[in-house]
Structure 1
Amino acid sequence: MHESRPFRTRLFDGLASSIAEHGYRATTVADIVRHARTSKRTFYSEFTDKEECFVELLRADHEQLLLAIRTAVNPESDWREQVRQAATAYVDHIGARPGITLSWIRELPALGTTVRSIQRAAMSDLTDLLIDLSDSPGFRRAELAPVRRELAVVLLGGLRELTALTVEDELPAESILEPAVLAAEALLSAGSAAPI
């Protein structure tokens, strides 16, 4: 299994390159292996089809996003600085591979009910991360309670849509940083004071 990891990584990179070039729907297995500089035989030894490769690529990308945000945030920093650290890590991640981000948001849902659990798990992971990050010394010093799940979902859902619009309009990922920070600060500070 470990020997196949380099091939999986190459195939993921091949799929990511093809998505950036053509989009997921227009991508074929031939495109993936051409970008990966490997064979269809290698592809089919790792994945049953293009959809499985796509789903596994998105899972790996999601794990990288979670790690990037968690690593970027210093829980001892002022809460506003933590918000900026998390938002910057998010923006840097999507800016590095905007096509993958857009595929998560727009193309994955088109695969139907088979991927619904993946979408829900990804949102749940991000929600849990936001709740966890807002339960830190920097937030406690500001007398802010951890964000409630419902408010975290509202924040993340809005950020996801803003991200999709930004990528679709081919605007720089950095353009969402300030709106993301302002929205997060407003929601995190207001949510601590008022019950839903």
Structure 2
Amino acid sequence: MTPTPVALADAGPVTDRLLDGLATSIGDRGFRDTTVADVVRHARTSKRTFYEHFASKEQCLLELLRRNNVDLIAGINAAVDAESDWRRQIRQAVDAYVEHISARPAITLCWIREAPALGAVARPLHRQVMQDLTDMLVTLTSSVGFRRAGLDPITPPIALILLGGLRELTALFVEDGRDMSGIAGPAVVAATALLGPH
């Protein structure tokens, strides 16, 4: 019988080590080829400890991806100056996005390509993250800089179109081993076209 995982909020440094262990193994071997033994080896702990915190490798992945996306959103929000010209805000947001994914391309690709293959277990996280990213874009485009230019906030459907295209472009760059900074130019052009005057 698998032990019941403890509440992640109470798990602290051990959970962090396990998540770091999973992230390291994904970078080395990919998620599919990663085993719990790989995770605990990188985390310098035991399988017993793993199962005290996570019911499965998949649950561990979902928590890793949840935290990764929280970090992404926080990084973008911190980078964007709401008082700046709207075009500058777009560049700030894109640069923060590129910086984040460049630091963890394997995790980014896992989120885009492998997490959907988990099916129903990953669906709530996927929907929540896309909602959080959409809300972030609506908030960013409601800023002083956008209002000063007479621009309306992005609508959620348009935000999803922008996010979907950016995700696919990101996946292609990671799969091809290309320099992630190459995403910035097209992302700025697409965002400016969607968010700017019509």
Task: Give the TM-score normalised by the residue count of structure 2.
Answer: 0.93
Which of 180, 193, 198 pairs up with 1:186?
A: 193
> Shift in Å at residue 117 of structure 1?
1.7
The 5-angstrom pairing of residues 59-70 of structure 1 reads 59-70=66-77
How many Å separate the matches in 2 of 1:4 and 1:189?
45
How many Å separate the matches in 2 of 1:113 and 1:34?
29
Partner of 1:98: 105
How many Å separate the matches in 2 of 1:49 and 1:148?
37
Partner of 1:124: 131
Which of 43, 48, 65 pairs up with 1:36?
A: 43
- 1:83-135, Cα deviation, whole Å (9 max, x unpaired): 01111111111000000000000000000122112111111110110010000
How many Å separate the matches in 1 of 2:160 and 2:85?
23
The 5-angstrom pairing of residues 1-196 of structure 1 reads 4-190=11-197, 193=198
> Shift in Å at residue 165 of structure 1?
0.4
> Shift in Å at residue 148 of structure 1?
1.2
How many Å separate the matches in 1 of 2:40 and 2:115?
21
Comparing 3-12 and 14-23, the one that deviates more:
3-12
Partner of 2:3: none
Q: Which runs of 5+ in 2 are unaligned?
A: 1-6
1:178 corresponds to which letter in structure 2? G
Task: Give the TM-score normalised by the residue count of structure 1.
Answer: 0.94
Secondary structure of 2:130 counterpart: helix
How many Å separate the matches in 2 of 1:88 and 1:102?
18
Count of residue correspondences: 191
> Shift in Å at residue 4 of structure 1?
2.8
1:68 corresponds to which letter in structure 2? G
How many Å separate the matches in 1 of 2:111 and 2:97?
14
Comparing 18-27 and 114-123, the one that deviates more:
114-123
How many Å separate the matches in 2 of 1:11 and 1:105?
21
Comparing 116-125 and 130-139, the one that deviates more:
116-125
How many Å separate the matches in 2 of 1:178 and 1:78?
18
How many Å separate the matches in 2 of 1:61 and 1:153?
19
Q: 1:132 to 1:3 in 2, by over 3 A?
A: closer
How many Å separate the matches in 2 of 1:48 and 1:105?
23
